[in-house]
Structures are given as structure tokens and as C-alpha cells.
Amino acid sequence: MTDFLGFALFVAVNALLLFILAFKVSLLRIKLQISLGDGGNSTLNNAMRAHGNGLEQFPIFALLLLALTLLGASQLIIVLFGISFTIARLFHAYGMLEISFPARRIGATGTYLLQLAAIIAVILQCTL
């Protein structure tokens, strides 16, 4: 059971982030009275993209962490990957919502580099 603790915490924290991003979209829809699409509102569009991008990036990384967990990678590796990915996603969400290109760039770059590192880690773990 403890073998899955790092992975479970990663999933819970990132699910919370996605919940918050989705809730922000809902609150903006109510405030702006826009039920479908973004109605041409850039604030709503940015909130929708922040949530959508999280939904695009999270599942593949979660699968990579699950694969590492099932292959017996150390919990330290799982936790370091999970924390780093979460920080990258927080930077990206902040950059999207607050229109901060540097934060968005840090988040996107971090996400891509961590995905590549996790892919390599899974491949290496398979060869051990």
C-alpha cells in the first residue's frame, strides 16, 4: 500500500488543481453570463485554456508515474517527479490566468522536460 502513496498524493493534489481551474471557469461563466464557448471574452478563454491544458498534460504524466510505481521505482523518484510536475503546472496555470508569459513559459518548459525525463525513467526502469 505504501508503494502507491507518492502516486496517490500526486493524483490528489493535481486533481485539486484541475478542480480549482474548472471551478474558476464556472464562476466566470456565471459572472459573465456565458453558457457556451468563451463569448469572445479573453478572460474566460484564458481560464478555459488553463483548465484544458491541465487536462491535456496531467493524464499522460500520471500514467508515466503509475508505470514507474508499478515497475518498482523508488518513492523518492516518484515524489520528486510529482512535486516538480505540480510546480510546473502551477506556474503554467498562473501564467495563463494572470497573463504572465514568463510564468507560462516556465510551466510549459518544466512540463515538457519532466515528461521527457519520466519517459526515459520508465524505459530505463524496464531495462533493469
> pLDDT by residue (tens digit) across 19-78?
999 999 999 999 999 999 999 999 999 999 999 999 999 999 999 999 999 999 999 999
Which residue type does 28 have?
Answer: L
pLDDT for the residue 128: 77
pLDDT for the residue 110: 98
Burial class (CB in 10 A: 0-12, 13-18, 19+), 126: exposed
Q: Which range marks the domain in which residue 109 is found? A: 2-127
Burial class (CB in 10 A: 0-12, 13-18, 19+), 104: buried
CATH code of the domain covering residue 45: 1.20.120.550
Compute the average pLDDT of residues 88-115. 96
Which residue type does 127 have?
Answer: T
Domain count, the chain: 1
Q: Tell me which H or E stretch contains 32.
A: helix 5-32
Write down the pTM of the prediction. Answer: 0.91
pLDDT over threshold 90, residue 1: no
